[in-house]
Structure 1
């Protein structure tokens, strides 16, 4: 992880860094972090190569939270925020934030986009495709995949604009404002900053 998380890097290294951040967000939003990942997070470098880099502060807070909290505490926080009995405290699904309910039209549109990219939900995966972890993993694939006909900047922008941009800021803000959020408050603020950088970069392509 020390090498994967970069804040300023040229050319291919910058793309690798973007893909790795999406992959990290996918793992941390999908489930409580496994032991190996959490230990890597706790020893991660917190000083950006470029002083004052935009994500440095929120990344430092995330690493600091991982050092301050035990993995069992983080797992309990994940369950309390995103699992629970019945309605979770915070929904991690795009349809809920965009349409006010699960399994609505945004999910149908997402599945059409995934089919056009030749992608589909893995058998046995319980969450629907509009879960933030699934979307982050799709973005990671569109950045780092081997098929240049699918994994390219145009595909990244279309997918981000259609299925990520419209709701992730509200989701991250909701997590950050929750009174019991600690580790996931730090994660949501880092994610919010990262998604903001992504949106600005895609806007600059006009």
Structure 2
């Protein structure tokens, strides 16, 4: 089962930390882990972490990390313990905002076409309408910002069914790994270096699970 692969890579302590935000008894444990990992990444990519987020990450304690995913969690927890709020706020601004733009431009349209506000955004908006996912009124970023896309994916996992894998194949798999690779090589990345490593390892795992799921439909 795909969930068994998740369970093998997800450390129990990591799951407990993620689930501290609220456990859903009607969702399989491995899907809760996936859902909450997307939400954590969305939170970190939407804005610099506050102290409560850093404290949560510090609680991750992986004694013997073996996989790329567990190693990334381990490094992120250690880095969070050494990170100051002012430092990470400056880092986030340099990476994602900057004077004109940051070192990483976190939009699907930019990665898939080279320009902003292009067809990938239009296609995403169509699917979000179909899935009845609406942007919050307080959010002004285009829907193809990586944080918004990951948040939408977490909602689809929470709902269950095949839509999550269709959404992943259309709107996450084609570009998110490249974004995390750019983030990994960004000059300003310190706290966000292990975030990028976590993102890369997680998307690799999700890609494997997506292939398994799609093959099971045939």
The answer to whether TM tops 0.5 is: yes
Q: Does 1:196 pair with 2:196?
A: no
Tell me: CA distance 1:183–1:102, structure 2 relative to 1, closer, same or farther (3 Å).
same
CA contact (8 A) 2:58 2:80 kept: yes
Q: Shift in Å at residue 63 of structure 1?
A: 1.0
Q: Corresponding residue for 1:46?
A: 62
Q: Shift in Å at residue 53 of structure 1?
A: 4.0
Structure number with higher helix proportion: 2
Q: Shift in Å at residue 71 of structure 1?
A: 2.0
CA contact (8 A) 2:17 2:56 kept: no
Q: Corresponding residue for 1:147?
A: none
Q: Shift in Å at residue 32 of structure 1?
A: 0.5
Q: Corresponding residue for 1:130?
A: 144
> What pairs with 1:138-177 in structure 2 (closer than 5 Å)?
138-144=152-158, 151-177=159-185
Q: Does 1:37 pair with 2:45?
A: no
| 3-state SS of 1:153 partner | coil
Q: Does 1:3 pair with 2:36?
A: no
CA contact (8 A) 1:142 1:152 kept: yes
| 3-state SS of 2:16 partner | coil
> What pairs with 1:68-83 in structure 2 (closer than 5 Å)?
68-83=82-97
Which residue, out of 5, 21, 37, partners 1:21?
37
Q: Give CA deviations for 1:63-85 in whole Å, capped at 9, x if unaligned.
A: 11111221221111000110111
Q: Does 1:96 pair with 2:104?
A: no
Equivalenced residues, count:
194
Q: Provide structure 1 residue ranges, at least 5 long, that are not aligned to the other structure.
A: 145-150
CA contact (8 A) 2:62 2:74 kept: yes
Q: Corresponding residue for 2:23?
A: none
Q: Shift in Å at residue 34 of structure 1?
A: 1.6
| 3-state SS of 1:173 partner | helix
| 3-state SS of 2:109 partner | helix
Q: Shift in Å at residue 40 of structure 1?
A: 1.4
Over the residues paired in the alignment, what is the CA RMSD in angstroms? 1.7
Q: Provide structure 2 residue ranges, at least 5 long, that are not aligned to the other structure.
A: 1-13, 20-26
| 3-state SS of 1:204 partner | helix
| 3-state SS of 1:3 partner | helix
